[in-house]
Amino acid sequence: MAAAYPRQFGKYVLLKPLAKGGMGEIYVAALGQLDGFDKLCVIKKVIPEKADEGKAKRFLDEAKVVLRLSHSGLVNTFDAGQVDREFYIAMELVEGKDLREVWNRCVRVRHRIPLEVALQVAREVARTLSFVHTYGELNLVHRDVAPPNIMLAYNGDVKLTDFGLARSALKEEHTQPGVVFGRAAYLAPEQARGEVADPCTDVYSLAVVLWELLTGHQYLQIAGLDPVAALAVVRHPKPMPPSSRAPWVTPALDAVVMRALAPDRGKRFASAEEFRLALSDAIAEAAPRTDSARVSELMHAIYKKAIAEEAAERGRFLKEVLPAFRAATTPKPEPLPAPPPAKSAKPGNGGAGAASASPAPASSPGGSERPAGRAAKRAAALKVLAELAAEDAQAPSRK
Chain centroid, CA 344 distance in Å: 66
Name which of 119, 118, 126, 124 is nearest 102 in CA terms. Answer: 118
Q: Edge-to-edge strands of the sheet including 12-20?
A: 7-9, 12-20, 24-31, 39-46, 86-92, 77-83
Between the alpha carbon of residue 288 and those of residues 98, 120, 156, 276, 284, the distances in Å are 25, 11, 17, 15, 5
Q: How many CB atoms lie within 10 A of CB 141?
A: 22
Radius of gyration for the alpha carbons in the chain, expressed in angstroms and rounded: 37
Looking at the annotation, which residues are catalytic? 144
DSSP-assigned states of every residue in 9-39:
ETTEEEEEEEEE-SSEEEEEEEE-SSTT--E
Name the burial class of residue 101, with classes exposed (0-12), middle (13-18) and buried (19+) by CB atoms within 10 angstroms of its CB: middle
In angstroms, the CA 94 to CA 77 distance is: 11
- Cα 257 to Cα 184: distance, rounded to the nearest angstrom: 19
Q: Other C-beta atoms within 10 Å of 324: how many? A: 12
